[in-house]
Amino acid sequence: MNKYAVSRYLVIGNSFTSLHYAYLLSATTVREIVRGTCDMIWECLKPAYMSARDKNDWIRTADKFYERTNFPNCIAANDGKHIRMTKPNESGSQFLNYKKCFSTVLMLWQMHTILSYQ
């Protein structure tokens, strides 16, 4: 039963309170189970996906990013923009923003490795 609570939290984004009612566990127990599981996932995946980097690695990354973008002392950049659009059919207020128009957010991430194709 605990694995279902954790997967509903991670995949769907259910709150601890909703999981507390759904699985008849206290909210504190749900929180401890999710935290413990996430800690174990982190410990398993960290060596494979988050390799240790020393100061020189970060400096080389910043230098490569500077060569391609002319942004000094950076390793990446991101930006977001609201793109106005007509209301999609049957979307309700899902795309309605605070300015009372319909929009979606376009996000851009730029890293030196992404630019290597140029």
Query: Using one digit for the tens of pLDDT, what is the confidence trace for 74-88?
Result: 888 788 888 899 988
Let me know whether 38 and 74 are in one domain: no
Digit-coded pLDDT (tens) for 11-38:
777 788 888 888 888 888 888 888 888 8
pLDDT band at 118 (very low <50, low <70, confident <90, very high): very low
Let me know whether 107 and 64 are in one domain: yes
CB atoms within 10 A of CB 9: 20
Domain of residue 34, residue span: 2-49
* Strand-pair partners of 82: 105
pLDDT band at 102 (very low <50, low <70, confident <90, very high): very high
Which of helix, strand or coil describes residue 77?
strand
Q: Domain tally for the chain?
A: 2
- Quick one: three-class SS letters along 7-44? HHHHHHCCCHHHHHHHHCCCHHHHHHHHHHHHHHHHHH
Let me know whether 66 and 109 are in one domain: yes
Digit-coded pLDDT (tens) for 48-73:
777 777 888 888 888 888 888 888 88
